[in-house]
Chains A and B, each alone.
Chain A
Amino acid sequence: MDSAVRSAYVRIGREDFDVQSEYLALRDQGEHQSKSGAIVTFTGLVRDAEPDRIVATLELQHYPGMTERVLRDIAAAATERWSLNTVRIIHRTGRLLPTDQIVFVGVACTHRAAAFQGCEYIMDCLKTQAPFWKKITTPEGGEHWADFKVNDAEAARRWLSGRSSR
């Protein structure tokens, strides 16, 4: 199967990432790269405020093993649906501060429409399916677990409603 030879890179850990290095990897690595005419990347950052409170730090927890597998499954589904040539997903764990990078998704494929949609699909699925949990610490030292957002679920659901790739 063609998609089986296409590559997905998934990394979860405490280390930060460099967007330029990730972009270059999307552009230059993999046997399909000469076919890619579009690269779309997304970087998620830690905000300094939730809707109702100030955020001092975030602590990111995951389920080692299962989280990696869920991300690989999401990447495989996106690769299949939009004929992506390369996918790179990085998600950080541990303690993070406002403005820290938390997540990176990058895709390379033939045309831009599929690249935009594939990248957005991966992020929507990551937000709703990948086993990560955020604990928020406020400047006063209070701690609580972040709430699941309903609009994240709605964003992910619209990909199920038969909206097709172009």
Chain B
Amino acid sequence: MNPTSVSAVEWPPAAGPVQRAGLYAWVSTVDHKRIGILYLLTALVFFAVAGLLALVMRLQLAQPNNHLISPEAYNQLFTMHGTTMVFLVGMPMLVGFGNYLVPLMIGARDMAFPRLNALGYWLFLLGGLLLYFSFLAGGAPAAGWFSYAPLSEAPYSPGSGVDYWITALLILGAGSIAGAVNLVATVLALRAPGMTLRKLPLFVWMSLVTALLIIFALPALNASIIMLLIDRQLAASFFRATEGGSSLLWQHFFWAFGHPEVYILALPAFGMISEVIPVFSRKPIFGYEFVAGSGVVIGLLSFAVWAHHMFTVGMGHPAETFFGLASMLIAVPTGVKIFNWIATMWGGTIRFTTAMLFAIAFILQFTIGGLSGITFTTVPADWQTTDSYYVVAHFHYVLIGGTLFGTYAGLYYWFPKMSGRMLSERLGRWHFWLSVISFNLTFSVQHVLGLMGMPRRVYTYPDLPYWGSLNLISTAGAVLSAVAVLVLLWNVVASLRRGRLAGDNPWEAWTLEWAATSPPAEHNFERVPPVRSRRPLWDLMHPEAPDPEIRSPGRQDNLPLERNVVGMWCFILTEATFFLMLIAAYVYYDLFVVGGPDESHVLDRKLTVIFTVCLLSSSATLYAAERSLRRGWRGGFQAWLALTVVLGAVFLLGQGHEYWDLLHRGVDVNSSLFATSFYTLTGFHGLHVLVGLLALSVLFWIAWRGEVRPEREEAVRSLSLYWHFVDVVWIFVFGTIYVVGPAL
């Protein structure tokens, strides 16, 4: 992002592509604002669907011994409700806001990779539809949103529901990772001049941390569901204890993703609140550094505490004690944020708009959810409350009182920017009070039910004292919640048609998005205002009393990063995490499982060493090719590139030979856990080599036609980064399987 590269870039023709109208314009769009709105609308539809599923569940639970729906249907409902709310509502809702707002807030014209952005949305839609198609294909998944093994294994979930669940989640995961890579590249490479990292609006900060969490956490999920898919489709036994596998490993892998996921859902809402509260308190945020920094700390901590979801599986007292203590620590950075928000309001001129009301409700309700969360870190208390309605109450306070109320605050705050019209404040107040009352009615009593011993995920319950009446209260609250959502929908539709016109900056806010028109033009800004402090529009409106300038210490605030390289690095990090999980699984089965063919008997190490040398030297030849390109020596570039392709192909042939040999000797995918994990790990690596090889071949073809010029070097550089990465992964894979493995 250095100024020279900005000025060196050629401006595209002003009009851009031909303006299309109507539905086709939406389907074919690569504009971050339209994609953002598509995300939000689709998430809203899924929100309504998942809400209806919950309503049916609540009606079934309204009285004891009820038979409105069957137990099988009930299992499908809670599985679909959870999966939908997490993957099809929570994440896309926040991605949608991020997509719409982040480029505007940092003064960029669009996301770093607009087409990838569109791909992310369509993958999301495809994944969502596929998940719901399972209803037509013989029954939805019914193993809960975390699909615990062995319940989710073929013998216990024989239908195709779990397969749909896996496929949908893989597609959704790919879409989320694409979105996260894009967001990181946008924030790191496309900021307007002056918008240094330390001046980023807090919503952008939290979105950045969230994107990094997605990059590191989603591959854990992808690795585990791929292993589950291999179990189900190829009759392997990664997670089947009866066949020597480990159901416990599924829980470790799933929660290594699942716990960061909680913060993926919470952090963007933190960011929204941090934008809304200062504007409606007419004060700058109190302790910007602490709000941003504690977000980073929460992100890092979230990877170290996943085992607190597993206090009842028998990990042993030492592990439980350590993870209980570590989990308590999360309360510290979260508490820091709460105090910052309160201190921001303190002494401010508070305007109680609907957005602000929801932000205040967020603080109160999220704190309640956080406090009940801390009770779980006391291990013996967790033993009593786990899998009871107390847990249900806890995470709904976090996800509705926290994430959803935060998102509502964001919606009322940014709706005028997106649509050009204000949402009705009168209806907004109805919506607010109905939401708060109904939400607390539904879930506060569930704390009590849980402590009285009512387990979650039961389709009905016996007529024990108070259970019936408390459940009835909860159901009444759920019905009222549906009314609240209807009020919101009515408000949105009515305001879109005849709401008050908003103007550019209806709230007198201070961040860059309010400098654009409402709704913003396709290219966002004619000119971006100068950014010298964290409140550029305040400085513009109050030249007599501007904020103190935030100077840039050193170059790190403003690294000259190139988006292709940032994007490739993010992709490499996420892939590296994926391979890390597979290698961990390999080592795990190597250590714990005996029986069946194992590596010391069946693998031919010498032959593999030869192929390894080929693959590793291909990194050197590719480096030589890059050097030739930099020096403008076209022939050398082509020759080195061709050699790279040949060496990569030799490696793949070698791997093919090894597979052929093993299969002939009767070592099948499901012969033993060694065989399954061997084929999984080397197979995925081989797939990556193949993809790299195809890309290199395309590059060679382009070079052959003489179309690779030294100016296009960074495209070649990102591809060679990928190739080097694949080689480095092989060093680890080779070391694990052929060197360390036999010794363990």
| A in complex with B | no
Identify the A interface with B (CB < 8 A).
none
Identify the B interface with A (CB < 8 A).
none
